[in-house]
Structure 1
């Protein structure tokens, strides 16, 4: 098993600075990054930084591509029911499951557990939104129907406003 990358052992704030610097420099200038890290007390050669940078750039590019494709899908097929989000959630769940099966004990279980928990929370939020959306549509439809019925009755026999409000309340389940 190869030794662990020196970049992955950097403190969180130094690694965040390095990642930001790589993005800002368009994944170039590894010699100057190596020199800057040396000034900060970390000895990492330009080759190791380049290797890390290539991997990071590939992951970033894949993420950008996926994001652009998702935006294109949403623009091409608006999804008020949340079916796309539900499908994506299931795909991610499947990938995490496959990762666990293929990992053979080499998987960062806390990270996977956190991802699963966040997916679950996302799914619950999605279901809650769908239920609220459907309820709002039903209520809007019921209010329109109640208005139509009371207007119809008012026009026929001169119903009072009090009776109209009572009938509307009954129709809307508020009486």
Structure 2
């Protein structure tokens, strides 16, 4: 078994400093980083730092790309009903279920971790449904209140109907 990375063994504050220095330095000048760590009392070779930095840079790039893609999707396809979130939850739940079913084949998968994922995704799904229900209820209450005010103000039934449909998000 390979020895544990010296970078992984760094105290949290020093690791945060290293991560920030890597990002700010555009993942370059590992000799300078090694010297900086040596000043802090940690002897880590530039090669070890480069291995760590390469993995960190790849993870950061993947997160940036996913974020940019999610923003582009959200901009191109508005999702007021959270259909994308629902779909993501379903995928997570399906994958978790599949992993649970394959645990005997792959013992590296921890039951506790999978159970935790399943429970949290269930809570997320419930919270989203509860939020939607509250929003719909508030919209109906607002539409009813506007209807009362509009009637007392003398608006026509047709005008009131247009306003209510607009508040409730019903296509006309």
Deviation (angstroms), 1:98: 6.2
What is the TM-score when the length of structure 1 is the normalising length? 0.70
**Structure 1 unaligned blocks of 5 or more:** 153-175
CA separation in 1, counterparts of 2:14 and 2:86? 37
2:11 maps to what in 1? 11
Distance 1:130 1:23, change over 3 A: same
Contact 1:82–1:130 (CA<8 Å) still a contact in 2? no
Q: Which of 127, 133, 145 matches 1:131? A: 133
Give the 5 Å matches for 1:1-175.
Answer: 1-94=1-94, 104=106, 106=108, 119-146=121-148
Contact 1:34–1:43 (CA<8 Å) still a contact in 2? yes
Deviation (angstroms), 1:127: 2.1
Deviation (angstroms), 1:42: 1.2
Contact 1:7–1:49 (CA<8 Å) still a contact in 2? yes
Deviation (angstroms), 1:28: 0.5
SS at match of 1:26: coil
Q: Which has the higher helix share?
A: 1
Deviation (angstroms), 1:29: 1.1
Distance 1:107 1:5, change over 3 A: farther
**CA displacement, residues 8-60 of structure 1 (integer Å, 9 cap, x when unaligned):** 11111111111111000000111111111111111111111101101000110
CA separation in 2, counterparts of 1:107 and 1:20? 32
1:156 maps to what in 2? none
What is the TM-score when the length of structure 2 is the normalising length? 0.71
SS at match of 2:8: helix
**Structure 2 unaligned blocks of 5 or more:** 155-172
Distance 1:17 1:109, change over 3 A: farther
Aligned Cα root-mean-square deviation (Å) = 3.1
